[in-house]
Amino acid sequence: MKRYRRKTGKRGAKERKEPYRELVASVDSREARICLLEDGGLTELFIERTAQRRLVGNIYKGTVKSVLPGIEAAFVDVGLGKNGFLYVSDVTDAVEDYEYFGEEDEEELRPKRKHKRRARIEDMLKRGQEIMVQVVKEPMGQKGMRLTNYISLPGRYLVLMPTVNHLGVSRKIEDEKERERLRKIAAQARPEGLGLIVRTLGEGKGKEEIEADVKYLSGLWQKILRRMESMHSPSLLHQDLGQVARVVRDVLDDDIDRFVIDSKPDYDTVLNLLENLAPHLKSRVELYRGQTALFEKYDIEPQIEKALRKKVWLPSGGYLVIDQAEALTTIDVNTGKFTGKKKLEDTVFTTNMEAAREVARQVRLRDIGGIILVDFIDMEKPSNRGKLLAELEQAFKTDRSKSYILGMTELGVVQMTRKRTKLSLTPSLCEPCPYCDGSGWVKSITTTMLQILRQLEKQCKENSQQAVTLTAHKDVVERLLADQSDTIAKIEQQYSRKITLKPSSDCHLEFFSITETGSGELLEYT
């Protein structure tokens, strides 16, 4: 049965039902996986692996290695092997030369110059120059990380911008009286010469909460400045929060009904963070102590598997086909099994409206960024096209990443863009398929390896066999022995089991089996 919250809009508006929203976090020494569920359906997935910590948000002291006037950019060494890329528009040479554009969104923090003169990268940076930079995009494919010299430090309610003298309020706070109230509070609390933007979570907050955020962020900035002065280049000056803490800072709000987490240390971390950030939300956080794996209890693993497939079924019998490429993503809408009981236009309209809602959910879940083309089924009535675009825009309103819907062509193709800061779900969990010369995707060895470790622990916990044998592709077994032999030894010791690893050249990279040693009884197979 679905659970709902009633949410009241502006005065005089009708109450509307909101989905029951839960955060479910499964954390171990290898990775943190956090899901946002709406009425039990997977809506967003956050994954951070211990060996692959996120770089976005990190601040470095780097050295300019080359300046390229021809592409108006520079390459900066920040000590990570591959140089970062810095566009001329991401370099500030004087705070007073800049002003903010637009009515602010906390995701869009790039200023523009007050003066019309054209900036030249060779006038702003020299080879060998030391510079403070922040990562704004993860390395993707052959591209290195994208850097900026405009530093932004997000807090719970504010974003501090020490290189831009500006005051603003997030666009997502629409009430003008509330925007003006927050501007006044932020203006009084703002340190001289530093920029502030009030985030969406700042709506309804008082002077004390805003001032506390300013105090914390100002202190953090001073610590970064001291490190910049004392440390050699290249050096890490500031590392952004880990995955669990970022979700608490950026996602957990009054609209989240429940936060379930299976790690006691991270549960304690969450409570400690909330003690300072939002004490009233502590009662919504629960430590999961069940014997069944948390993601299994919530039926999340099959939903993740579905999110890696190209084909997505719609409730009526229609379906989407999602094709991701480096340049753009295409989403094709088809009526499939749905034939409807009325006119063809009605059948198409119903399928398209379902597709609009599902497109928004899949884009958020798969974290698809860049250029997106959605090929809806063509409709004759202009009014139906208008309703479809309105439905699509409404469906993207809850998306925390900035997106722009650019309209629909005569052929029914909707063009849109969505901000991309990291790899989407498929390339994060998969790698080019070696069986078809890279024309498709298979789960990466790391993804398969972590899935195996979860299943090994589950089988050793739930079954009485004294010894089990894992059979998997030889490359997967080789990686397990190289990277996770200590983890396997801990599982053996904790459950008093003997685990044998059996490599197989005939086994598919994604598949593995766990059997009872000796009898060969099959315990787990993928």
- Whether the full predicted model's pTM is greater than 0.85, yes or no, is no
Cβ(80)–Cβ(145) below 8 Å: yes
- Could you write out the DSSP letters of every residue in 344-378? HHHHHHHHHHHHHHHHHHHHHHHT--EEEEEEPPP
Contacts of 407 (CB under 8 A, 6+ apart): 389, 414, 415
The pLDDT confidence band at residue 397, using thresholds 50, 70 and 90, is: confident
pLDDT at 341: 59
pLDDT digits over 18-57, tens only? 889 999 999 998 999 999 999 999 999 999 998 888 899 9
Q: Where are the domains of the chain?
A: 4-52+244-302, 59-239, 308-425, 444-525
Cβ(225)–Cβ(180) below 8 Å: no
What's the rounded mean pLDDT across residues 453-481? 89
Highest averaged pLDDT of the listed ranges 86-90, 282-286, 435-439: 282-286
Going by C-alpha positions, the residue among 82, 52, 77 that lies closest to residue 66 is: 77
d(CA 264, CA 282): 15
| Phi and psi torsions of 163, nearest 5° | -100, 0
| Residue 100 confidence (pLDDT) above 90 | no
| Residue 428 confidence (pLDDT) above 60 | yes
User: Residue 425 carries which DSSP code?
Assistant: H
| Residue 423 confidence (pLDDT) above 50 | yes
Amino acid found at 144: G
User: Residue 397 carries which DSSP code?
Assistant: T
3-state secondary structure 114-169: CCCCCCCHHHHCCCCCEEEEEEEECCECCECCEEECCCCEECCCEEEECCCCCEEE
Cβ(112)–Cβ(92) below 8 Å: no
| Residue 2 confidence (pLDDT) above 50 | no
How much of the chain, in percent, has pLDDT values that exceed 70?
90
What CATH code is assigned to 59-239? 2.40.50.140
pLDDT at 10: 41
What's the rounded mean pLDDT across residues 513-523? 80
Top-confidence residue, 397 or 114? 397
Cβ(379)–Cβ(410) below 8 Å: no
| Phi and psi torsions of 126, nearest 5° | -125, 150
Cβ(185)–Cβ(158) below 8 Å: no
| Residue 469 confidence (pLDDT) above 80 | yes
What CATH code is assigned to 4-52+244-302? 3.30.420.40
How much of the chain, in percent, has pLDDT values that exceed 90?
56
The pLDDT confidence band at residue 526, using thresholds 50, 70 and 90, is: confident
pLDDT at 338: 60
Under CATH, which architecture does the 444-525 domain have?
A: 3-Layer(aba) Sandwich (3.40)
Contacts of 148 (CB under 8 A, 6+ apart): 86, 90, 110, 133, 134, 136
d(CA 197, CA 191): 13
List the structure tokens of 28. 């171990």
d(CA 326, CA 321): 17
d(CA 174, CA 380): 35
Going by C-alpha positions, the residue among 463, 469, 506, 499 that lies closest to residue 484 is: 499
How far from each other are the two terminal CA atoms of the chain, in whole angstroms? 31
| Residue 84 confidence (pLDDT) above 80 | yes
pLDDT digits over 48-74, tens only? 998 888 899 999 999 999 999 988 999
Contacts of 341 (CB under 8 A, 6+ apart): none
Cβ(297)–Cβ(307) below 8 Å: no
